[in-house]
Amino acid sequence: MGRLAVILGSGAAGPGGAGIVATAERHAIVLQRHGPADAYVLPHQIDHEANLRSLSAAGCNRVLAICSVGSLDPGLGVGSFACPDDFIALQLTVTSFDDPRGHATAGFNPAWRGEVLAAWEASGAGPLRDGGVYWQTNGPRFETAAEIGLIAAHADLVGMTLASECIVAGELGLPYAAVCVVDNLANGIEAKPLSPDAVEDHRERNAGRLRNSLTAVLPKLVG
């Protein structure tokens, strides 16, 4: 069996991220999507192909992505975990190909996604919502309330990186599944405006729960 890759999101670059990284590194090859805290890469500037090729070169044959997201559903509150089963990213043109192979059907790998869900449940890592649609925006700004009103009619989660990463992983033959951590309700879902400071505070508070969940589930995914 090849090696497991864990790609960590923006929370891993924050103050509480060191414990998350250390936990993941005990079981998998770890890549921080946005780079280290002192060299943060904005979402629209991430070289997903370079990231994923480096994991493939290290012997990885499957990817578990951990993504920070906004929730479009008030019932899926801050601190919730979700494993999406589809995404919308109509504006993307990302591909690792320069030939007709780019005309491909993209999405999460069903078999690998099923393994992640089963391992999560067996580990007692806590509630994980099975399913949901992720909508990728361009970033790096947060969405306007009007944009969220449109998006929320069709999706459950919103973020800036997952779809691009998933598309390229599929093209490179790396089965890809994701666990999304809700770090905020999207702008306009609740009455008060979205505050970047509040998002960072929520990420920091969620870091301990994420670390504990990874401690429980990763041994089952590498065995």
Say which DSSP state 143 is in: P
The total of structural domains in the chain comes to 1
Distance of CA 118 to the CA centre of its chain: 18
pLDDT tens string 208-221 = 999 999 999 999 99
Q: Domain holding 54: CATH number?
A: 3.40.50.1580
**Per-residue pLDDT at 13 exceeds 80:** no
pLDDT tens string 43-57 = 999 999 999 999 999
3-state helix, strand, coil in the chain (%, to 5): 40, 20, 40
Which CA distances in Å does 103 have to 1, 45, 99, 113, 165?
Answer: 30, 23, 9, 23, 16
Q: What domain range is 202 assigned to?
A: 3-222
State pTM to two decimals.
0.94
**Rounded to a whole number, what is the distance in angstroms from the first to the last CA of the chain?**
9
User: What CA–CA distance (Å, rounded) separates 93 from 12?
Assistant: 27
Coil vs helix vs strand at 71: strand
